[in-house]
Amino acid sequence: MTQAKPLRADAQRNRDAIVRAAREIFSAEQNEVPFEDVARRAGVGAGTLYRHFPNRNALLAAVFEGEVSALRDRADQLMETLSPAEALGAFLREMVDHMYSQRGLARTLFAASESAGGALSGEGQVLDDVVTEMLSRGVLQGQLRDDVPAGAVMLALHGIAVAAVHSERRQEADGVVALMIDGLRRR
C-alpha cells in the first residue's frame, strides 16, 4: 500500500480550516447545514471542500479523527502522571465531560455512524485500544480486576454517551463513572 503524498502547506491549512469549521457547526447542533456552508465558514470555495472531502461522511470522519486524536493524547498524559486506576477514572470522566459539552457533535456522529456503514469504526477502535491499555496497566500493577474486558467499559461509556445526547443528567453520568471505577478496583 502506498502512502498518500503530504499536502502542500496551503492545502493543509485549507483542510484544517474546513475540519475546524465543520466541528464548530456540528458542535452547535447544526448538523443539517448544507455542505457548502462549511466551505463558506472555512473561507474556502466549494471546490476546495470537495477536493478534500468528497462527501459529508468523509468530513465527519475527519472531525471524529481529530476528536479521537485529542482524547488519545490526553490519555497518554494521564498515564504518564497518574496511577493506572486514577488515569482510567480521570480519562472516563473527561470523556463524559467531552460528551456533554459537545452534544451537538455527538448527535451528528451518532447519526453518521448509523448511515456511514462503519466508516467511523476505526477511530472507535482507537478508543477501545486506549481503554484496553489503561486496564492492562492497572491489572499489571494489581490495581484493577483482570476479568473485565475493555469492551464492557466501552459499552457502559456508550450508554452514558447515548444518555448525554438525549438528557441533562450530567451528575448521574459522573456517578456511573464512579461506580464503574469502583467496580473495576481489585479487592
**pLDDT per residue over 33-76, tens digit each?**
788 889 999 999 999 999 999 988 888 888 888 888 998 999 99
| Cell numbers representing residue 57 in the block | 461522511
> What integer is the mean pLDDT of 167-179?
81
Partnered with residue 144 across adjacent β-strands are 185
Highest mean predicted confidence (pLDDT) among 112-121, 144-153, 158-167, 171-180: 144-153
**pLDDT per residue over 93-104, tens digit each?**
888 888 777 777
State which CATH number among 1.10.260, 2.130.10, 2.30.280, 1.10.10 fits the domain covering 7-54: 1.10.10
Predicted local distance difference test score (pLDDT) of residue 49: 93
* Whole-number Å distance between alpha carbons of 97 and 70: 14
* Whole-number Å distance between alpha carbons of 12 and 116: 25
Predicted local distance difference test score (pLDDT) of residue 117: 53
Of the pLDDT bands very low, low, confident and very high (cuts 50, 70, 90), residue 2 is very low
In whole numbers, what is the pLDDT of the chain averaged over residues?
Answer: 84
State which CATH number among 2.60.120.10, 1.10.3210.10, 1.10.10.10, 1.10.357.10 fits the domain covering 57-184: 1.10.357.10
**pLDDT per residue over 112-123, tens digit each?**
665 555 555 566
Q: How many CA atoms does the CB half-sphere of 89 hold within 13 Å?
A: 19
Predicted local distance difference test score (pLDDT) of residue 83: 94
Domain locations in the chain as residue ranges:
7-54, 57-184
Range of lowest pLDDT (19-23, 85-89, 162-166) = 162-166
Predicted local distance difference test score (pLDDT) of residue 10: 84
Q: Is residue 106 within 8 Å of 99, Cβ to Cβ? A: yes
